[in-house]
């Protein structure tokens, strides 16, 4: 095996590994953001945050249960997307099957 093709194979394996690590990190980030958005609107921290004290006109809007529900829904959507990414994760270079 020539030395050049061995380098190309190693480089492809490194890219595959880095791509897999990047997907896992992005999936974890999506999941964490989803969990925060799922619970944060219903905690007392939501009612006494910096932006509500800085902009009191936003208080009625951001404390409305419908807005809290929409934000919670975005969190749930993030978690579903992260779960879908984990489910579709296969060998690098393989196309996901339906």
The residue among 29, 69, 30, 80 whose CA lies nearest residue 46 is: 69
Q: What is the pLDDT of residues 45-81, one digit of tens each?
A: 999 888 888 999 999 999 999 999 999 999 999 999 9
pLDDT > 70 fraction of the chain, expressed in percent and rounded: 80
In order of 11, 91, 98, the CA distances from 94 in angstroms are 18, 6, 13
Angle between helices 65-88 and 3-39 (to 10 degrees): 150
Maximum distance among all alpha carbons in the chain? 70
* Alpha carbons within 13 A on the beta-carbon side of 85: 18
Its pTM stands at 0.71
Spell out the domain ranges in the chain.
Answer: 26-88
Query: Which pLDDT score, from 0 to 100, does residue 6 have?
Result: 61
């Amino acid at each position: 095996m020539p030395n050049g093709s061995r380098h190309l194979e190693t480089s492809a394996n490194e890219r595959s590994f880095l791509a897999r690590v990047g997907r896992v990190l992005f999936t974890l980030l999506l999941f964490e953001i989803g969990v925060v958005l799922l619970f944060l609107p219903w905690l007392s921290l939501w009612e006494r945050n910096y932006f509500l004290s800085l902009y009191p006109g936003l208080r009625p809007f951001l404390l409305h249960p419908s807005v809290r529900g929409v934000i919670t829904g975005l969190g749930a959507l993030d978690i579903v997307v992260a779960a879908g990414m984990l489910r579709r994760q296969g060998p690098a270079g393989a196309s996901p099957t339906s």
